[in-house]
């Protein structure tokens, strides 16, 4: 583990250490057993472990709940590894694997920025807007169809009234003829 950032606020104080150990252990296990290069997502104990191992053997792990979009997690991994490799040369992290000797502090800002996938990822934001638009369009179409049914009812009633008025007109004409002959 070259560097790490953990947001464990949703866990109780007494659970945080064991959750952190679970994340580190599971991450190391998945990374050790995965081929190089690789992108994968593994479900473990109700959480998703997103792993990205680059061709230069630099790897990253993001542990999320099941609701967090996998595409956003892998996007985060790509950006973190790209930023890490830009700020820490491979000659440092390939030789010295002690976290104390590696000067990188970008993880906390990435973690804070990606807490809400809708604000961090433009595609997720656009997808949510599309979903909202589809709901609005569905409701509008439903209302138009209901109005169309009401219009059909009005047309039927007006046709019925038209037939009744013609019958009334014919009867009134017959009665007027009867009255004029008498």
Confidence (pTM):
0.60
Q: 3-class SS at 80?
A: helix
Largest CA-CA distance found in the chain, in angstroms, rounded: 124
Asked if 63 and 26 touch (Cβ cutoff 8 Å), the reply is yes
Rank 7-21, 140-154, 155-169 by mean pLDDT and report only the highest.
155-169
Domain boundaries, the chain: 16-120, 122-182
Q: Which fold has domain 16-120?
A: Beta-Lactamase (3.30.450)
The pLDDT assigned to 182 comes to 47
Residue 180: pLDDT band by 50, 70, 90 thresholds? low
Round the average pLDDT of the chain to a whole number and report it. 81
């Amino acid at each position: 583990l070259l560097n790490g950032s953990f947001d464990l606020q949703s866990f109780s104080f007494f659970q945080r250490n064991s959750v952190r150990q679970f994340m580190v252990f599971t991450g190391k296990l998945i990374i050790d057993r995965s081929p190089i290069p690789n992108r994968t997502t593994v479900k473990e104990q109700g959480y998703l472990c997103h792993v990205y191992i680059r061709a230069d053997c630099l790897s990253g792990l993001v542990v999320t709940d099941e609701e967090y979009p996998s595409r956003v997690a892998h996007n985060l991994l790509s950006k973190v590894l790209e930023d890490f490799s830009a700020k820490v040369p491979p000659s440092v992290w390939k030789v010295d694997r002690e976290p104390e000797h590696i000067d990188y502090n970008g993880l906390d800002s990435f973690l804070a920025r990606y807490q809400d996938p809708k604000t961090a990822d433009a595609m997720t934001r656009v997808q949510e807007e599309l979903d909202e638009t589809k709901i609005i369009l569905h409701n509008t179409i439903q209302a138009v169809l209901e109005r169309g049914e009401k219009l059909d009812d009005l047309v039927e009633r007006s046709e019925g009234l038209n037939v009744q008025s013609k019958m009334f007109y014919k009867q009134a004409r017959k009665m007027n003829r009867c009255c004029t002959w008498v």
